[in-house]
Structure 1
């Protein structure tokens, strides 16, 4: 399934769970031909993401709505700034309100947290990357928010890259397959994809280096061990640090000399950003 179709499906599911059976309150008290304009306002400083998703959702509810983005995805918004203006049928805007605010809140939360990590290391030439630790069903949109905020997208699914992880190593050891042998097997069938292996200590690191993978992930390793890895691993092998990364220690990890730092928290633990939808004008709309 293509990216566009995946996005459409995510939006359809969100609309289905909220308005598939209608909006009893709005339908009972708001005239169907009433028109107006509403502004979506950031209630706190944030990096915006999800505006385009909100636009698609609005037009799925009512193709006649006019949607104007005042702040594009990936750009900062100050508290009180207008992010989007929607003009058209009031009933349609109200039906879409919670869905579009949910998308904006969550995706802007991901973008805002990503931007904070990126800012911490921006002068060090180190990339901040995401992981597969995403909310079920929302991975594509969360990775879009990471990218919009200046982060790097790592593999979107298990078929998009080769990463030998800790449980692979356990299973390999049970069958008598060494780390270097496992890397060789992966490289033989990689079909052009890079081969990455996760290690948790310096002994595993040494064995991994012997297998000459493209990337070694240093998982939950101490700063001293990360520094030792940077000194001993050939520059032909990229180094990724992951596990236990916080805003407080990310710069120290970057200064140790790794190439990439992957942070699961930017997707699975991002706090939602507060947005509100406020009607700003009222005007008659043409009778249908």
Structure 2
């Protein structure tokens, strides 16, 4: 697994106990089954009071980091970067995005105001991709990049005509992605999102895209089996 959550465990042990402890592994490290993460001694009452809280964080965050690393390993030899999304658990976004980085991935937006991403609902409200981009450019600070989510080649062409920074190819199959990459021709960065899994990601990465964003990194990661033994 890829370990993540040591900093959280350290916070709880240091803040809420007098337990003496030391870490034998660090966040982002790949470790095998049976490896000790942290050891120490102190009050049994304090240790047991913190046990489940610490394990919950370690198990979940390590699960996110490990799943991210699985996806990253499938893109070896390509320029594609694996990104998370805003599909995070309430209250845990910062930690989950940290876990993604520990697994070798990259962070997408932290919040709506991190950058401008024009999605299907925005396009529907504005009437077209062109109208949505024009409205965004009229209000955007000079340093803010604008990305638009496109469902087909017609929308992509509208985005290109507006000199867009990033185009997101939403829920496209491999043939559609290939055609979109040809049409874009290096005029902007390309992100692929929707329906990505461990079986399809090597083929997507080979299509010369820049980013692949995956919601399941944070909303569907399986907890890693980590225990505490006295």
TM-score (norm 2): 0.96
Cα deviation for residue 113 of structure 1 reads 0.1
Q: 1:47 is paired with a residue of what secondary structure?
A: coil
Runs ≥4 residues deviating over 6 A: none
Match for residue 98 of structure 2 among 140, 144, 147 = 144
Q: Give yes or no for the alignment of 1:267 onto 2:222.
A: no
What does residue 180 of structure 2 align with? 229
- 1:26-68 C-alpha deviation (Å, 9 max, x unpaired): xxxxxxxxxxxxxxxxxxxx11001111110122211x22231
What does residue 131 of structure 2 align with? 181
Q: 2:39 is paired with a residue of what secondary structure?
A: strand
Check whether the contact 1:70–1:84 (CA below 8 A) recurs between aligned residues: yes
Cα deviation for residue 149 of structure 1 reads 1.0
What does residue 8 of structure 2 align with? 53
Check whether the contact 2:2–2:30 (CA below 8 A) recurs between aligned residues: yes
Match for residue 228 of structure 2 among 265, 270, 277 = 277
Cα deviation for residue 212 of structure 1 reads 1.4
Larger Rg over CA atoms: 1
Match for residue 76 of structure 2 among 119, 122, 131 = 122
- Say how many residue pairs are matched: 229
- 1:88-142 C-alpha deviation (Å, 9 max, x unpaired): 2221111000000000000000000000000010221210000001111111100
Q: 2:117 is paired with a residue of what secondary structure?
A: strand
Q: 1:99 is paired with a residue of what secondary structure?
A: helix
Cα deviation for residue 236 of structure 1 reads 3.3
Whole-Å separation in 1 of the counterparts to 2:163 and 2:108? 21
Check whether the contact 1:67–1:87 (CA below 8 A) recurs between aligned residues: yes
What does residue 258 of structure 1 align with? 209
Q: Give yes or no for the alignment of 1:97 onto 2:48.
A: no
Compare the two structures and name the one with the higher strand fraction: 1
Cα deviation for residue 268 of structure 1 reads 0.3
